[in-house]
């Protein structure tokens, strides 16, 4: 590539492995890389030019996103992109670190319809939804309740006289609040409401509800609807509110795959599937983990590491060139564990998607045995990885000094999009407690001799009482360390005598320990499967660093019961720091392997060519505030101060 910053060029000439081979590994094979690049070329043709998001108002961002949505849908149709991965590749270049106003249509509305609707209901609504004559959202959260689903207040009362459900918002706190695309975009929603029939409350059930006229898009009578206003981020999504005033829908519009209300109002439960109406949340939580890597951790560390290779600052040796800040050990300690985390979360996300589809297929065949474990694992990993991603993106920003604070860095847009995942789809603390609840039950089962499988099989294993960590730092010995910690937390966190709340801080840590063990195990198995020696070595170093950084940061957990001795902990710290210099040589190549386009990263600091300063200056000059040279506000507000005499003339 012409005119690449010389420092970056040197980094790329000095690596020890094939970037292309690592990209193929991250994609899941060369054929996937080739296909992805093909789709991305199509997307760049359509979306690489356009107004700078940073210089738009919120309303402009929403309108621009609607326009891009229409173009993206047209592109997918024109190019025959139907596979979820292919649509995702195009979509993420159309909406870099944004989301379309119709995001919930595909992410939650359609999956809920196809999984909770009867065959007739799917046949009726799916064709319309696939043609976008229906654009739907998923309306569950209310102003007064998001976490505690059983506390939701919206009611759906069956009227056998008219064979209709009456949807009603009985209180101010019962207004549906937050659903994405609800404010101005969607004309339908799947509304989660308390089902009342024959005077009895049967709990939360899903209802297909038309919100707006097909002809005019006006809200239907009995519906008050709108946008909830500016948020921390996600400006392009009109998260909205809706208030129902005795709004009637036909009986046939309760999604009745798992439970039915007959014409006479009789309630029939036709499934042993526990929490069947909670299913779509498991889907999104399971899919989120990969998204947090690819949309959060990986772009953030790409920006910070590339910038750290071109940024020269301060003086290490008299009369020498100012060093690349990437050569400071402190900068490496800030960034390389994050690079390792990006790989760890990506590999875990790939694994989580595989498990989800396995269990989902089993459930469709009526086998629900693995659902509790899937719910627990997806809840815990969603919480751990979204918290990790939030923390890491902020640390990457801080590592880039003043320019890291500029919108030109790309960090603000990445951060506000990713950090929302700590809250939506289940607030993280609550998700960790859900995971812990499952772990306690399975640990108690294991203590009674039950043989466990899957991600909790270790709870019925015998665990070492002393670490086998040596100066070799084998990945197996590191996995064993996390296995021991997780086991110990489950054992001590499960005292049935203690009240749940008094134990809940420890329980959240037990859930995190379980998820960390899972992530290190997945990372180790990926490394073991790598065939190319050079790639295996460098990815193995990242796995070691991911584990050692976590051991060092949580040293107390590992030395408290003597599992890791003080001498071994000294070895851990030594190895962690020596890995920083081992990884230094390949750092830029390890982020190049993510194979991001500059248009996706959206960062002047993280450009592939490393030409930061010239492009930063051009970007600043293009800011609307710089035109005209003297703003009208000068005349009104500054001149009276600066030139009081002149302003009186
Ligand atoms: C797909 C691509 C993703 C990419 C994304 C890109 C960008 C995205 C941009 C925007 C998207 C944002 C969209 C956001 C949408 C939302 O936020 S939708 C609303 C989400 N809300 C929640 O998650 C609510 C969280 N609360 C709960 O889930 C529940 O209240 C609860 C905490 C689980 C408690 O429920 P409840 O009180 O009913 O249950 P308990 O009585 O405590 O019993 C718990 C038992 O139930 C089992 N359980 C719980 N949940 C589930 C489940 N989902 N599936 C299966 N089983 C479940 C649990 O294991 C307990 O079982 P036990 O009794 O045997 O122990
Ligand atoms: C960007 C964004 C998009 C969203 N999109 C949608 C959508 O499309 N559809 C939809 O239905 N919803 C959506 N939501 C809402 C989201 O699902 C809820 O905000 C989320 O479930 C958290 O619930 P809450 O807001 O009631 O928080 P709360 O539960 O009130 O959390 C507040 C605090 O209370 C604590 N807390 C609550 N319960 C417990 C407990 N049992 N134990 C310990 N601590 C507890 C929490 O840990 C947290 O610290 C969205 C939210 C955001 C931010």
**pLDDT tens per residue across span 183-218:** 999 999 999 999 999 999 999 999 999 999 999 999
Q: Are residues 247 and 343 in the same domain?
A: no
State the burial class of residue 267 (Cβ atoms within 10 Å of its Cβ: 0-12, 13-18, 19+). middle
**Domain enclosing residue 62, as ranges:** 22-98+280-422
Q: Are residues 373 and 293 in the same domain?
A: yes
Query: Strands 188-197, 200-210: parallel, antiparallel or unpaired by DSSP?
Result: antiparallel
Q: How many domains does the chain have?
A: 2
Which residue among 103, 138, 141 is best mutated to probe the pocket of ligand 2, counting the most ligand atoms within 8 A of its Cβ?
141
Residue where a domain stops, chosen among 422, 442, 460: 422
Q: pLDDT value at position 451?
A: 87
The residues near 20 (Cβ < 8 Å, ≥ 6 apart) are 33
My answer on whether 303 and 200 are in the same domain is no
Q: Would you say the CB of residue 427 lies under 6 angstroms from ligand 2?
A: yes
Q: Which residues contact 393 (CB under 8 A, 6 or more apart)?
A: 296, 297, 300, 411, 414, 415, 418, 419
**Cα–ligand 1 centroid distance for 281 (angstroms):** 5
With respect to residue 638, please indicate whether it lies within any of the assigned structural domains.
no
**Domain limit, last residue, from 378, 400, 422:** 422
Q: Considering the domain boundaries, does residue 581 fall inside one? A: no
616 located within any domain: no
What are the phi and psi torsion angles at 109 (to 5°)? -65, -55
Is the pLDDT confidence value at 606 over 60?
A: yes
Q: Is residue 406 part of a domain?
A: yes
pLDDT tens digits for 295-336?
Answer: 999 999 999 999 999 999 998 888 888 999 999 999 999 999
Confirm whether 160 is domain-assigned.
yes
User: What is the structure's pLDDT at 498?
Assistant: 60
Give the mutation target among 148, 178, 232 for probing the ligand 2 site: most ligand atoms within 8 A of CB: 178
Query: Is 335 among the domain residues?
Result: yes
451 alpha carbon to ligand 1 midpoint, in Å?
27
Task: Categorize the per-residue pLDDT at 494 as very low, low, confident or very high, splitting at 50, 70 and 90.
Answer: low
Q: Is 180 annotated as a binding residue?
A: yes
Interface ipTM? 0.98
Query: Are 248 and 312 within one domain?
Result: no
Which pLDDT value is given to residue 525? 98
Say what the pLDDT of residue 495 is.
60
Query: Residue 244 is part of a domain; what is its CATH number?
Result: 2.40.110.10
**Ligand 1 binding pocket includes 502 (Cβ within 6 Å):** no
467 lines ligand 2 (CB under 6 A): no
Q: How far apart are the CA of 493 and the centre of ligand 1, in A?
A: 22
Interval 124-154: pLDDT, tens: 999 999 999 999 999 999 999 999 999 999 9
Cα dihedral 629/632/636/641 (nearest 10): 0
If asked whether residues 143 and 188 sit together in one domain, one would say: yes
Atom of ligand 1 nearest to the CA of 424: 17
Task: Specify whether 334 is located in the same domain as 361.
Answer: yes
The single residue of 373, 425, 524, 576 carrying the catalytic annotation is: 425
Q: Which of 396, 422, 448 is the last residue of a domain?
A: 422
Q: Would you say the CB of residue 173 lies under 6 angstroms from ligand 2? A: no
Question: Percent of the chain scored above 90 by pLDDT?
Answer: 89
The pLDDT of 508-514, averaged and rounded, is 97
Answer yes or no: is the C-beta of 147 below 6 A from any ligand 2 atom. yes
Q: Which helix (H) or strand (E) holds 70?
A: helix 58-78
| Same domain membership, residue 371 and residue 285 | yes
pLDDT at 469: 86
Ligand-binding site membership of 442 (annotated): no
- The verdict on residue 15 lying in a domain is no
553 part of the active site: no
pLDDT value for 648 = 60
Q: Is the CB of 110 under 6 A from ligand 1?
A: no
**Whether the Cβ atoms of residue 558 and residue 564 lie closer than 8 Å to each other:** yes
Same domain (yes/no): 236, 358: no
Look over the chain and give the mean of its residue pLDDT values, rounded to a whole number: 95
pLDDT at 497 over 60: no
d(CA 76, CA 64): 18
């Amino acid at each position: 590539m012409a005119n690449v910053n010389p420092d970056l060029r040197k980094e790329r000439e000095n690596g020890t492995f094939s970037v292309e081979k690592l990209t193929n590994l991250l994609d899941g094979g060369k054929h996937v890389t080739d296909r992805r690049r093909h789709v991305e070329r199509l997307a760049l043709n359509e979306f690489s030019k356009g107004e700078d998001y940073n210089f738009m108002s919120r309303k402009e961002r929403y309108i621009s996103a609607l326009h891009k949505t229409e173009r993206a849908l047209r592109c997918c149709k024109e190019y025959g992109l139907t596979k979820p991965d292919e649509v995702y590749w195009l979509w993420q270049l159309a909406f870099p670190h944004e989301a379309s106003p119709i995001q919930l249509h595909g992410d939650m509305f359609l999956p809920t319809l196809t999984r909770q609707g009867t065959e007739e209901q799917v046949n009726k609504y799916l064709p319309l939804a696939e043609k976008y004559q229906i654009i739907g959202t998923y309306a569950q959260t209310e102003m007064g309740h998001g976490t505690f689903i059983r506390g939701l207040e919206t009611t759906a009362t069956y009227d056998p006289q008219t064979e209709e459900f009456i949807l009603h918002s009985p209180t101010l706190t019962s207004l549906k609040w937050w659903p994405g695309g609800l404010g101005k975009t969607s004309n339908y929603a799947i509304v989660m409401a308390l089902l009342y029939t024959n005077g009895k409350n049967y709990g939360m059930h899903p209802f297909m509800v038309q919100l707006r006229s097909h002809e005019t898009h006006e809200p239907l009578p009995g519906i008050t609807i709108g946008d909830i206003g500016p948020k921390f981020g996600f400006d392009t999504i009109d998260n909205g509110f809706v208030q129902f005033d005795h709004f009637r829908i036909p009986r046939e519009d309760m999604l009745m795959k798992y439970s039915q209300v007959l014409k006479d109002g009789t309630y029939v439960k036709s499934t042993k599937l526990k929490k069947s109406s909670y299913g779509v949340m498991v889907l999104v939580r399971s899919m989120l983990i990969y998204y947090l890597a690819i949309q959060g951790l990986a772009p953030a560390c790409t920006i910070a590491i590339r910038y750290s290779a071109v940024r020269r600052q301060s003086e290490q040796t008299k009369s020498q060139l100012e060093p690349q800040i990437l050569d400071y050990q402190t900068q490496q300690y800030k960034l390389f564990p994050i690079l390792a985390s990006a790989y760890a979360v990506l590999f875990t996300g790939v694994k989580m998607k595989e498990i989800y589809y396995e269990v989902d297929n089993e459930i469709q065949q009526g086998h629900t045995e693995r659902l509790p474990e899937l719910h627990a694992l997806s809840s815990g990993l969603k919480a751990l990885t979204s918290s990790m991603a939030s923390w890491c993106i902020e640390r990457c920003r801080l590592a880039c000094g003043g320019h890291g604070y500029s919108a030109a860095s790309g960090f603000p847009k990445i951060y506000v999009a990713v950090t929302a995942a700590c809250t939506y789809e289940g607030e993280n603390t609550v998700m960790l407690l859900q995971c812990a609840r499952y772990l306690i039950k399975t640990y108690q089962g294991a203590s009674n001799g039950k043989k466990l499988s899957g991600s909790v099989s270790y709870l019925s294993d015998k665990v070492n009482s002393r670490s086998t960590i040596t100066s070799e730092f084998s990945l197996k010995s590191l996995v064993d360390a996390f296995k021991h910690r997780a086991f110990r937390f489950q054992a001590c966190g499960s005292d049935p005598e203690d009240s749940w709340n008094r134990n809940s801080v420890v329980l959240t840590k037990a859930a995190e320990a379980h998820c960390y063990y899972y992530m290190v195990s997945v990372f180790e198995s990926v490394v073991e499967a790598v065939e190319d020696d050079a790639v295996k070595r460098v990815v193995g170093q990242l796995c070691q660093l991911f584990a050692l950084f976590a051991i060092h940061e949580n040293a107390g957990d590992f030395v408290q019961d003597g599992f890791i001795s003080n001498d071994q902990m000294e070895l851990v710290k030594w190895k962690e720091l020596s890995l920083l210099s081992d990884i230094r040589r390949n750092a830029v190549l390890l982020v190049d392997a993510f194979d991001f386009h500059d248009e996706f990263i959206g960062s002047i600091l993280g450009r592939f060519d490393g030409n930061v300063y010239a492009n930063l200056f051009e970007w600043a000059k293009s800011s609307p505030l710089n035109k005209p040279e003297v703003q009208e506000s000068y005349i009104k507000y500054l001149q009276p101060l600066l030139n009081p005499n002149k302003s009186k003339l």
